[in-house]
Amino acid sequence: MDYRRLGRTDLKVSSQCLGTMTWGEQNSEAEGHDQMDYAIDKGINFFDVAELYPIPPKRETQGRTERVIGTWFKERSSRDKVILATKVVGRTDMDWFRKDGSKPRLDAKNIEEAVEQSLRNLQTDYIDLYQIHWPDRNTGGFGSNPTRWKDVEPAADEVPIAETLEVMDKLVKAGKVRHIGLSNESAWGTMTYVKEAETRGLPRVASIQNAYSLVNRTFEVNLAEVALREDVGLLAYSALAQGYLTGKYRNGARPAGARKTLFERLSRYEGVGADEAMEAYFKLAEEAGLDPAQMSLAFAESRSFVTSLIIGATKMDQLKTDIDASELKLSDDVLDRIDEIHQLTGNPCP
């Protein structure tokens, strides 16, 4: 396992980060504890969660995933072994996050309530990396990096980025949060956070958590340059395209217990051109004698702008395969052929 500096902080995080969003829905508390035990044993020191989790978001399950981590911390006395990241939701119509039933925004009232609840759920008194799950402003699509521009009407009550940073500054000074990060953000949004922090003396974002995979390389090129020049490294999620790049859904398969089978909500990876692109990558993996999941993960983890690759699994054998991919180094020939496929197929799953 490699270890990389998180932004301009003094933290060194493992090049793989344990994703947790299935715990409390597809996975039990005991299974979540087993996954954390195994990850720690394999050298992973970085866990990622969110107040939203588990997925899919529901009123009756919200917060369960953080609570699974909290009971593990208590039972194992293991808080000092983990660099812990969680997230506060951005602007949303989901009205079950706040006690008064209001719709969340990225202002002081919402962020302060969210962080206190996360601390209680996680049974800790500090969060190493507190991330904004998605922007407060209206965007052209979730993830903030579409392949085609779509005009959107700005919200009348949009919370300025500087105001959000001022709240984060209070949390850092209070010792409740050590560092801050972004998620599902654009180059403009990221640079605005950097600029506001530097001009106002506010906390600097250390990372950005966006989707990145063989079928979604929209982080390149503008955000990749931001990540490298401004030390706002990518925490890459969905490197397996929510399981599609493992091949388990190939030819219309519906494995029992899989997210597609249970929830029917993977449209991000089912658009025009997705099947053709994935088949090309499957063929390449077969010809190179590689597991398609490990090839996909190894590609993402090898990118210079990636600080850590977020992996997640519902079954222990899946987790073992994912972690083992950290030892795989792709040949120049395979990397060249990946670029050739990308040149032909583009980003079908932004």
Which residues carry out catalysis?
Answer: 53
Considering only CA atoms, which of 325, 324, 301, 304 is closest in space to residue 237?
301
The dihedral built from the CA positions of residue 310, 316, 318 and 320, taken in this order, carries a sign that is positive
Amino acid identity of residue 165, one-letter, is L
Q: Do 46 and 17 touch, CB atoms closer than 8 A?
A: yes
307 φ, ψ to 5°? Answer: -85, -45
Gap between the Cα atoms of 221 and 304, Å rounded: 12
Instruction: Determine the number of helices (DSSP H) and then strands (DSSP E) in the chain.
Output: 11, 10
* DSSP-H helix ranges across the chain: 29-41, 64-76, 108-122, 161-173, 187-200, 222-230, 259-263, 274-288, 292-301, 316-324, 332-345
Which two structure tokens, joined as six digits, stand for 202?
């506010």
Amino acid at 325: A
For the beta carbon of residue 101, count every other beta carbon within 10 angstroms: 8
**Cβ neighbours of residue 137 under 8 Å, at least 6 residues apart?**
91, 154, 155, 158, 189
Q: Do 133 and 53 contact (CB within 8 A), yes or no?
A: no
Residue of 346, 53, 344, 87 whose CA lies nearest to 210: 87
